[in-house]
Amino acid sequence: MSAKGLVLLISGPNLNLLGEREPEVYGTATLDDHVAAAAAAADERDLDLEHVQSNHEGDLVEAIQGARGRAVAIVINAGALSHTSWSLHDALAAFDGVVVELHISNPAAREPFRHVSTIAPVADGCIAGFGGLGYPLAIEAVDRILAARS
């Protein structure tokens, strides 16, 4: 375990298809590419990174619950569940570390149903619309928030 702790990176439904699915919206980088960028950013900041991807909402809830008392932060790209999942909201509300919501695209510039996030009310902040750059930016945000709280 690193000196600063563990960051849990959560990827929701359909993110396993990054690089293939709608490259005009999400780019050509794969989920593995994004996780590698986040891991490199975490390593630079003496943070450990663990990644979980699932197409099943309950698996994501269990991952969040499992992070309680174990992780200092959660970075979550919940995909479409960001706009519909009150169970993710409730699980994140019970987590006492830093929470950063992450989106590759900019939901505010897309379909109206994407304009509201169920995660935003329980997140410290949101990084959206920067493509793959959002992953290292989210790790940097976690590191800065942790430093400000210590």
Read out DSSP for 76-140? EE-GGGGGT-HHHHHHHHT--SEEEEEESS-GGGS-GGGS--SSGGGSSEEEESSGGGHHHHHHH
Identify the active-site residue in 34, 51, 89, 103. 103
103 part of the active site: yes
Q: Give the separation between CA 38 and CA 95, rounded to whole angstroms.
A: 21
Helix (H, G, I), strand (E, B) or coil at 72: coil
26 part of the active site: yes
Identify the active-site residue in 26, 51, 89, 135. 26
* Catalytic residue set: 26, 103
